[in-house]
Chains A and B, each alone.
Chain A
Amino acid sequence: MEQFWQQLLSTTFLVALLSSCVRLAMPLLLAGLGETFAERSGILNIGIEGIMLMGAMVGFIGARVTGNAWLGLLCGILAGMLMASLHAFLSVSVGADQVVSGLSVNILSLGLSMFAFRSLYGLAGQAVKAPGFDVLPIPGLSQLPLLGPILFRQQALVYLGLLLVPVAYFVLFRTTFGQQITAAGEDPLAAESMGVDALRIRYACVLIGGATAGMAGVFLSLGELRGFSELMVAGRGFIAVAVVMFGRWNPVGALLAALLFGLADALQIHLQAFSISSIPPHLLLSLPYLITLLAVVSGIGRGFIPSALCVPYRREH
């Protein structure tokens, strides 16, 4: 038992843990950043779980067919935007209930992506391979003690995700577009009377959400898990929605929240490697979901909710 604690608190273990934490936070962060835009503009999209799967599949096939992981990423982003446009149409133009619309996009994305994959590869899908993203150490910085392995010996998509945080922050808080997004999400009627096209803003933000969800899916299929299967998203899309709230609808907060949930995921994986029979694998697997549950119950972030979130807005003429 003492050996367990010694191993647990050793530097090697902690560095490996934190490195995994950053990596595993990425799908949550990527999906969460885009969903932050969507929710700030007033649209809730719980379909990002399905959109991530769709992005994973299309990105996977794209990389396999073109032989290039980056082209696969592009395909995944486009696929994500396509599915998200359906949700945008239903939520913004039709004014349908956003939860129902999100659920239906979820189901449809799951069905379409699995239907397509199964048609192409039948039951041998598990063995199919595609070129993925390898670890890309940053010269120089990757040699730093501690920070080197944690931050600078990751895949390209991790760096991309981390860079998107300041970009998203800048767009939301320092540009007119960002101001308009906030206005559309707080009070679309007032915003429209000020010349803000709330409907177009909402469309744009949902599409941004779809793009990043597609990216998150590609991260899973070409970066983390290197393959494609029905259960690979495993609830991360829903956890991303919690990331947005816990992060107070702010990109920096989303980063911190994603790291927290990523840590739970990392703990689950690394503790399993200890093969201690007293901690059943099912309990470890439930860690990310428990942490998310506690985060939602804690109520952190709820005071920052956009006032018009989930309320359909229709223009009267």
Chain B
Amino acid sequence: MPSSEQAVLRMVGISKKFPGVVANDGVDLEVRAGEVHALLGENGAGKTTLMSILCGLYHPDEGSIIWKGHPVRFASPWQAAAQGIGMVHQDFKLIQRMTVAENVMLGQPSSRRALFDAPAAAAAVERVSADFGLPIDPRTQVRQLSAGMQQRVAILRVLSGRPDLVIFDEPTSVLTPQEAESLFRMMRSLVQQGKSICFITHKLEEVMHIATRVTVLRDGKVVDTSETRLTSPRELARRMVGREVLFTVTKEPSLPRDVTLEVQNLATAGAPGQVALHDISLQVRQGEILGVAGISGNGQNELAEAIAGLRPVLSGRITIDGRETAHSHPREIINMGVAYIPDKVRQNAVFMDLDLAHNAMAKSHRGAPLAPFGVFRMRAIAAHVQRLLAAYHVRAPSQATLARQLSGGNLQRLVLARELSRAQHTPRLIIAANPTAGLDVGATEYVHTQLLEQRDLGRAVLLISADLDELLALSDRIAVLSAGHIVGTVPAGQVHLEDIGLMMGGTNAAGREPLS
């Protein structure tokens, strides 16, 4: 890999504050032509903020950017793109309802013409698509594409501007291992043409695999910049976290007993634009953790919602502790002892503008002991909430603090507290969907410990996660979900990452074609 010693980008002394948090504190970064430079750090270390500043989304409070030898100040992403810097965001930032061509053309600095010519736009997209070997149909609506294909659209949009530096923010979070590998191949070819790539990630193996050099960020400051061939994952992890990190969670072998949750031939409709479930069958026993692997958007949320009673079941059976629950009201299922920690807690599980007490007593807000005959017993409620907040170490000034003011980790503890220690019913089945998304290592460890503790107490845990490492560490068995089907269920100790990756891509033992 040819790499010149010339620095094509220098960020000097960048600082950026948001209310209540210092995102970047005097960060220095140097990227050379023809290199893949990884930005490594935990969630909240400041990587995305730094790159957002670079690509023109934010303005730095202090510091300067020197691009190709000249100091620059980008007022908008459009300006940055015009100068040759483009970013592929983690959430793609595409307009779902518009077509591929419209999305790609909208962001082009070159097309500031007044009229919009759909056929010309489609042709332009086909040209870029051919140039970089990323086939796509410019006339499809983005919302009809899979996550991997949507990422391709985002990449095409950036590449249309013929940039010299491309920033990728956590690009592999929505890809199968095979798709990630093809992304890396594309990155290598870009770099061979003399471009530079900046690559945000929290995955150590990716850094070792693809990056030339890596800068580690922690708490908004640069810890170190080194060449990847001269360092090791353990070293990087230590710098990322600041202490020795245990790579494996100690886990007792599981002793599963009776079946708690039984799903047979479940079929549901999907959310608009999402995949539906077809013929899902699985079992979770007391005292075991069943992990469900799969790229997000392949039916995970639908599965969790169907079990929790929040999504109508088209056909099939769901049995919890022997009782049929496929068509039960969510409240009945809650009262049977089902705890559900959903994906995206801020949107789905928490009342951000209401206080901790309100949030903590949810699901226990009806009937004895907190609200006999529908009337609140204020002292009982206050005591219950206090107990919960203390037991789960939720750090907040008082019960009257609004949920919005809690950090991500504390919010997750609040949700765990509420779900696992309800006033009325102890949980028998726990469904957790992406419970550690966006959390730092400390909070992640806490969640993992809690889930294992529930398993050891004899409860059944269904863990749905896009993080394969988490699944391999915690699960006793793993089922792989792809395009609304269970492709296979394997014991966790006997499977390789690549096999799961293949299954996530849709290939099972029968050798079905992976998704496009």
Contact = CB atoms under 8 A, between A and B. Distances in A.
- A and B, one complex? yes
Interface of A: 173-180, 182-183, 186-187, 189-196, 307, 316-317
A190 B93 contact: yes
B48 to A, nearest CB: 12
Contacts of B76: 192, 195
A193 B97 contact: no
Interface stretch (B102-110, B356-364, B392-400): B102-110
B257 to A, nearest CB: 47
Given A183-B106, A195-B76, A177 B114 contact: yes
A190 B88 CA distance: 12
B140 to A, nearest CB: 16
A175 B95 contact: no
30 contacts: A173-B116, A174-B115, A174-B116, A176-B115, A177-B114, A178-B116, A179-B102, A179-B105, A179-B106, A179-B116, A183-B95, A186-B95, A186-B96, A187-B93, A187-B95, A187-B96, A190-B92, A191-B95, A193-B57, A193-B89, A193-B93, A194-B77, A194-B93, A194-B103, A194-B106, A194-B107, A194-B157, A195-B77, A195-B81, A317-B59
Given A193-B57, A316-B58, 19 more contacts: A174-B116, A175-B114, A175-B115, A176-B111, A176-B115, A178-B116, A182-B98, A190-B92, A190-B94, A190-B95, A193-B89, A193-B107, A194-B93, A194-B103, A194-B106, A196-B106, A307-B96, A307-B97, A317-B58
Contact of A189 (B59, B93, B157): B93
A175 B59 contact: no
Interface in B112-141: 112-116
A218 to B, nearest CB: 29
B78 interface: yes
Interface residues of B, number: 28
A85 to B, nearest CB: 25
A176 B121 CA distance: 12
Interface of B: 57-59, 76-78, 81, 89, 92-98, 102-103, 105-107, 109, 111-116, 157
Instruction: Name, among B57, B78, B106, B111, the residue most crowded by chain A CB atoms within 10 Å (CB to CB).
Output: B106
Contacts of A192: 76-77
A316 B53 CA distance: 12
Contacts of A316: 58
A46 B176 CA distance: 47
Contacts of B94: 187, 190
Contacts of A179: 98, 102, 105-106, 116
Contacts of B157: 194
A175 B96 CA distance: 19
CB-based closest 5 A-B pairs: A195-B78, A194-B107, A190-B93, A193-B93, A186-B95
Nearest to A303: B272
A176 B112 contact: yes
A36 to B, nearest CB: 16
A317 B23 CA distance: 12
A41 to B, nearest CB: 13
Nearest to A180: B106
A87 B391 CA distance: 48
Contacts of B116: 173-176, 178-179
A264 B326 CA distance: 46
Instruction: Name, among B59, B95, B106, the residue most crowded by chain A CB atoms within 10 Å (CB to CB).
Output: B95
Given A194-B77, A195-B107, A176 B97 contact: no
Contacts of B92: 190
Contacts of A182: 95, 97-98
Nearest to A173: B116
A283 to B, nearest CB: 40
A204 B393 CA distance: 50
A190 B150 CA distance: 14
B97 A186 contact: yes
Contact of B114 (A176, A186, A189, A307): A176
